[in-house]
Amino acid sequence: MIDPKILNAFQKLFPELTNPDRKPINWAVTGSLGMVLQGMQMEIHDIDLQTDKEGAYEIERRLVRYLAKLVHFKASERIRSYFGAFEMDGIKIEIMGDMQHKLPDQKWDTAVDLASCRDWVDFEGMHIPVITLEHEADAYQKMGRFEKAQKVKDFIAKK
């Protein structure tokens, strides 16, 4: 079950991302919300979105009134992306554009191609793009979060 505060924030966010009168954005829900929308059970603390670089800046323009952190290129030890943060009704929303993972050979993989790892879920009258569970498991593996990766793989195996 999705916490009503998270759901309300997402229902407010969704039309901003899908407005047919504005430029289309290439995006998908990722992280715990995306996995719960696909049937997994876990706590959701925020809303995470993946997009491309252009989408990150377009989302920033649309959500400027909720801005917590400007979109900027951010790199950590294992991932890098065009990252921005927003807060809507007390719920944190994080966006990652052109996300890349560091590979074992210390090189960066190519930016995530959302079209190749996106699925669609119908929920509460919304047709929502989500990152596939298979891709989520792979991403957790690349980030060294092996326990979380295994939890996702186990869920996939039971489906």
Question: Which CATH number characterizes residue 39's domain?
Answer: 3.30.460.40
Nearby residues of 156 by Cβ (< 8 Å), 6 or more positions away: 133, 134, 137
**pTM above 0.75?**
yes
- Is 99 within a domain? yes
- Domain region containing 126: 4-153
The whole-number pLDDT of residue 12 equals 97
Token code pair at residue 66: 């909720």
Tally of structural domains, the chain: 1
With respect to residue 149, please indicate whether it lies within any of the assigned structural domains. Answer: yes
Instruction: Give residue 24's pLDDT.
Output: 95
Mean pLDDT by 10 residues, the chain (159 residues): 95 96 96 97 97 98 98 95 98 98 90 94 98 95 89 93
Sign of the four-CA dihedral 69, 31, 130, 127: negative
SS3 34: helix
Is residue 27 in some structural domain? yes
Q: What is the pLDDT at residue 159?
A: 79
**Residue 158 included in any domain:** no
- Predicted confidence at residue 34, as pLDDT, reads 98
